[in-house]
Structure 1
Amino acid sequence: MKNIAVVCNYELNPARIGGMDRFFKAYNQQLLQKGHKVTWFFSGGEKFNFYSGFELHFPGQQESVETLTLNFLKNKKDFDVIVTHFVALCTPYFRELKKKNQPYIIAVDHNPRPLGGFSWEKRIKNKIKGKIYSPYIDLFVGVSKYTADCILQDYGNLVTKKVKVVYNGIDTSTYLERKEENYGKFIVASHLRKSKGIQDLIEAVALLPEEIKNKIQIDVYGEGPLEAELKRKVAQNQLEPQIAFFGSSSRLPKLMKNYSFLLQPTYMECFSLSILESLAANVPVITTPVGGNLEIISNGSNGLIFQTGNIEELNKLLQKVVNREFKIADNLSDLIKKNYSLEQMVANHINLLPCT
């Protein structure tokens, strides 16, 4: 038996049970079945029924999940393995984790990089941090080839032999598949922040000819700091009949099949669970060539690609879709079932552990 800690800069939300929540649950079950003890640390939220059977810890007010785990280590039993998700890499935190009992540390990188990369000042700082703090991380995991390449670019050749790729996966059995084309009905499933590019989508819709605009319905699922501004932008352009906001929803696996395309005009991405979920529901994707998107989307086959920030190009794509000028492959879900299943993701993460 190994004592394993999983540290996630991730908030639990009963209104948003997504792909990562399902991964955490399946991963926890597999570890417990193998006889390991698992302690989970999350940056916020609350425990609810989905997470029954977990040993969960949350930080107090004005306390980070990193501080929470370090304080826990001072007073509790040592960990043999520590796995981090969504935590910044190559920081003093990893040196502190390593001090007690020298645990095996796996750092999973889900963090997207800005379009065009970091500034030269940031690049130099990353190289320095890589030299100082990467020795305290035993394994770096990128959730796409793009992410793994970014880890090498950020922290230098010193980490080359410690970087692996484990693609995200989803529970394909939860997604009902689209049977009808439903042209003109689109879905956005995204955190509402500027880097997701939804403000560009609103502008693209505002520029549509009236006869096309009147045939479009876009349902936005998600929440985030840009929500109020996006709603104002919709109102200013008188697009309430076209664009509606529904907040977070755990019903997306059942709802996705009702749409013709997923819209993802993003500026930053690692390897999008939303794209996997959409394809699992047999719904093609309109997105940008950032991050690992091109590792899963083939332009004209299972989706359409436009250049990031190109509102005019997005506008034209929307018109062509509504006018049925594109023919997308009939079955999009087989690729996801074969290569990006939740079972594969969990098995691959289990295999990273030194105790298996």
Structure 2
Amino acid sequence: MRIMHLEFGRHLYGGAAQVRYLIEGLDDCGIENILICPVNSEISKVTCATKVVELSIGGDLDWRLPTRLKNIISLYEPSVVHAHSRRGADTVGGWVSRYMEVPAVLTRRVDNREAALWARLKYFPYDAVVGISSAVERELLHHVGLPAYRVHKVSSAMDTKRYSPATERTRLTEVTGLDSSLFTIGIVGQFISRKGHALLFECLPELFVRFPHARVLCFGQGPLENELKKNVLNKGLSSHVIFLGFRTDLSDLMPELDLLVHPARQEGLGVAVMEAMSSGVPVITSTAGGITDLLENKVHGLTFESGDKSGLFNAMVLMISDEELRVRFRTAARKRIQEQFSVEKMSHRYIEIYNQVLRSS
């Protein structure tokens, strides 16, 4: 079996990281993988795909993309085309595959609502559409109106070897210069409104009064970065909040955090939450989107209703104050990821879907 993956994201964010894991898992199962991605994209530098084809991609309106994809499909003759991202992969990939009479699968990773008519047109050429969480699956079934036989749920996965508990804090101290006695709270995600940074920052003045030894470390980049930095400066919190940018060494830094906070307003599943759980880092997260697929409140971590400032604040106070609780969550959360969200499990589920669409074609 030969799978052609369309991943048009430039950075190794959550979705692209999942494509990396899937290709590794499929490779372990003896399946050949061809990756189509942008020139100099980060995934092109780390993938184990048999063949990498790099393209200059202009997005949904790139008039050259259909012809180039048609030629690539004709050249490599994949068994299945699997589209993973937007920027033309989802819109163009399905229709070109249908024209070439190659079965196609699309993975949707976000739970935001699309115009139903446009969504039906986009998803029409795909033999199977995969949602990464119950929330995304519901959106595909009930809002878009896709038939149940074409909709599947396959949860994202985590490389539990790459994200594993730390025994001491060395790398984080080296990068930040912070004393190891300080309590570090991480927030990981693009600086966009739906990730909820503003809600966390509203809680910080009072939190730092109660816990002056706490520090917040912000990992990521995005259009709201300058606005968020100005927010921190205006609140007089610059000594307690550190912006670390997008880090390719997050798997080294994440395990050394004391706590991860994920205050998202919308979320397909929550890769940052999975990374923290796998790393043995206690988690406080909103219940947005598909996050509740990952953990049970007070069993694997603490949750609060999306947008609930007092709920977030109270959860942080409890977590910082109760070391025994943090220890319990570390163990339970990592076990949950190992048992339910392994790369092997995700890969085998996709193989089932590939075989299903091949039998039906």
* TM score, norm. by length of structure 2: 0.82
- What amino acid is the match of 2:129? F
Distance 2:262 2:334 in 1: 18
- Tell me, what secondary structure is at the counterpart of 1:244? strand
Distance 1:205 1:103 in 2: 52
CA contact (8 A) 2:36 2:55 kept: no
Match of 1:266 among 259, 264, 267: 264
- Tell me, what secondary structure is at the counterpart of 1:250? coil
Q: What is the aligned partner in structure 1 of residue 186 from structure 2?
A: 187
Deviation at 1:174, TM superposition (A): 1.6
User: Does 2:51 correspond to 1:55?
Assistant: yes
User: Does 2:125 correspond to 1:136?
Assistant: yes
- What amino acid is the match of 1:75? N
Q: What is the aligned partner in structure 2 of residue 225 from structure 1?
A: 223
CA contact (8 A) 2:60 2:88 kept: no
- What amino acid is the match of 1:23? Y
Root-mean-square deviation (Å): 3.3
CA contact (8 A) 2:34 2:49 kept: no
Structure 1 residues 68 and 12: alpha-carbon distance in aligned structure 2, compared to 1, 3 A threshold:
farther
Distance 1:235 1:170 in 2: 35
- What amino acid is the match of 1:164? H
Deviation at 1:254, TM superposition (A): 2.3
Match of 1:164 among 152, 155, 159: 152
Distance 1:132 1:21 in 2: 24
Distance 1:38 1:112 in 2: 27
Structure 2: 5+ residue stretches without partners: 170-180
Matching of residues 115-264 of structure 1 within 5 Å: 118=113, 125-126=115-116, 128-129=117-118, 132=121, 134-156=123-145, 158-178=146-166, 184-208=183-207, 210-212=209-211, 214-264=212-262
Q: What is the aligned partner in structure 1 of residue 85 from structure 2?
A: 86
Structure 1: 5+ residue stretches without partners: none
Distance 1:83 1:8 in 2: 9
Tell me whether 248-257 or 258-267 shows the greater mean CA deviation.
Answer: 248-257
Aligned length: 340
Distance 2:110 2:62 in 1: 16
Answer 1 or 2: which has greater helix percent: 2
Distance 2:227 2:237 in 1: 14
CA contact (8 A) 2:8 2:36 kept: no
Structure 1 residues 246 and 50: alpha-carbon distance in aligned structure 2, compared to 1, 3 A threshold:
same
